[in-house]
Structure 1
């Protein structure tokens, strides 16, 4: 985790998606709210194990501590990143954008 209290402004890189965003038809979609979440890891537990959890319990996840985290939008993987702190709050630094095939596959699975 790094301190990002002096974080620079987000720089926009011109790419095909940015050009589409400037298109009038796509601009009307810009106000649609989406849910971004970050997944640290996961595991499978039996219901009995979940019922046995108590304060101080530790649940081991399926990731190494130095692995990148999954950045999800509406449940679809869009990028990988790492945790940073920004003015005493958690943030996420985008390290890798998921390939468009991966992003679309996440949307198709939910459809």
Structure 2
């Protein structure tokens, strides 16, 4: 029995880990062991720089933190291209998907959730 291929239908329910990285810092183990309450660790990113958004450890986008009340969210600022290295995100236009008759197919993806929906 064969099933018709409907794009990404079969893999859309696979769980992946979305991670937002504020920054990084390499420290010797002795400095890690000396950390305690109220210790500060300076990261390699400035406060106005976009944050890295990764899926399963791979950079997919950059964004900024949005806070409303006691919740955080991430606003996507730019997507990384599939073939672009992690350090050079791209904002290339997406190709138009066309049906068998050559007519453009409408994008029916749901819009991203707003902070109010979270």
Q: Same fold (TM over 0.5)?
A: yes
Deviations 1:12-70 (A, max 9, x none): xxxxxxxxxxx614201000000001000001000000000000000000001100000
Greater relative contact order, per chain length (Cα 8 Å cut-off, separation 6+): 1
Gaps of 5+ in 2: 87-118
CA deviation after TM superposition for structure 1 residue 88, in Å: 2.4
SS in 1 for 2:39: coil
Task: Specify which of 10, 19, 30 is matched with residue 37 of structure 1.
Answer: 19
Aligned to 1:80: 62
The aligned counterpart of 1:71 is: 53
> 5+ residue gaps in structure 1?
1-22, 105-111
3-state SS of 1:26 partner = coil
1:29 & 1:51 partners in 2: Cα distance? 42
Cross-structure match for 1:27: 9
Structure number with greater Rg is 2
Is 2:46 the counterpart of 1:55? no
Equivalent residue for 2:71, pick from 67, 89, 95 = 89
User: Aligned partners of 2:57 and 2:85: how far apart in 1?
Assistant: 10
- CA 1:86–1:29 in 2, change beyond 3 Å: closer, same or farther? farther
- CA RMSD, aligned part only? 1.7
Q: TM-score, normalised by structure 1?
A: 0.69
